[in-house]
Amino acid sequence: MPSTTEQLHQFLGEFKKEQLADIEAAAAGNDADACFKLGALYANGLGVKQNSQQARKWLNKALKQQVTAARTLLAWLYLNDESLGRSDSEALQLFLEAAEAGDSDAQCALGDIYLDGAAGIEPDPTAMLQWYSHAANQNHPKAQYMLGKLLAEGRQVQQNDEAAFQWLTLAIMNQSEPAQRELAMLTARLSHDQLEQYKQRMMQQMPQTH
């Protein structure tokens, strides 16, 4: 399924002001997709004045109709918008629901939360690895980068240079700029033979993983 970010980029990138009236009318009729789109417009201040309360109202209507992306976007708002009364616990629950429905953005966000913890939420290396892995296997570039970085550093997971090399390479293929710097640091400490072995084994695995 397309991630929340991919859906938002497509909708917001193609949005025209003259579409607003139709979206508002459909949302007033409780159309799930229109409720999500109107919530996204209010969250981003596109076509309307930015209003987090209105964003929450319409996203809640959408998520009650099982719009997964609405859960993820609302969770982001709860984490980052002080006007809503920052609620890490509500964000966590929404992320969990969206992640279990397959949204890679929510899965990666859970990896972030369990990596460092949040208010009332303890760091959890096992959960962190689980959710980053789910997202990375859906080609989520940040999750791939984070897995590669953590494996290269041996931070909260056992150090594994080869796995780090593979994830960072995949992240770069998905346009992750931070992964380029991390891979450069990793390869600088690898011998030529190690690097060639990692490349060969990765090439052999590619047909099975893609």
pLDDT number for residue 210: 40
Rounded-to-integer distance, Cα 190 and Cα 3, Å: 34
pLDDT number for residue 207: 54
Rounded-to-integer distance, Cα 69 and Cα 36, Å: 8
Kindly state whether residue 130 falls inside one of the protein's structural domains.
no
Would you put residue 85 in left (φ > 0), alpha (ψ -120 to 50) or beta? left
Q: What percent of the chain has pLDDT over 70?
A: 98
Kindly state whether residue 207 falls inside one of the protein's structural domains.
no
pLDDT number for residue 138: 96
**Structure tokens belonging to residue 166:** 């593979």
pLDDT number for residue 209: 42
Q: What is the pTM of this model?
A: 0.90
Q: Which domain holds residue 55?
A: 1-102
Kindly state whether residue 127 falls inside one of the protein's structural domains.
no
Residue bearing the bigger pLDDT, 82 or 53: 53
Kindly state whether residue 22 falls inside one of the protein's structural domains.
yes
Kindly state whether residue 28 falls inside one of the protein's structural domains.
yes
Kindly state whether residue 34 falls inside one of the protein's structural domains.
yes
CATH number of the domain that 81 lies in?
Answer: 1.25.40.10
Residue pair 4/108 in contact (Cβ under 8 Å)? The answer is: no
Give the containing element (helix H, strand E) for 66: none
- Residue among 95, 39, 38, 45 at smallest CA distance from 68: 95
Kindly state whether residue 41 falls inside one of the protein's structural domains.
yes
Read off the pLDDT of each residue in 95-120 and give the average, rounded to a whole number: 93
Rounded-to-integer distance, Cα 50 and Cα 42, Å: 5
Residue pair 50/20 in contact (Cβ under 8 Å)? The answer is: no
Q: What is the DSSP string of 15-52?
A: --GGGHHHHHHHHHTT-HHHHHHHHHHHHHTSSS---H
**pLDDT tens string 190-209:** 999 999 999 999 998 875 44
How many domains, in total, are found in the chain? 1
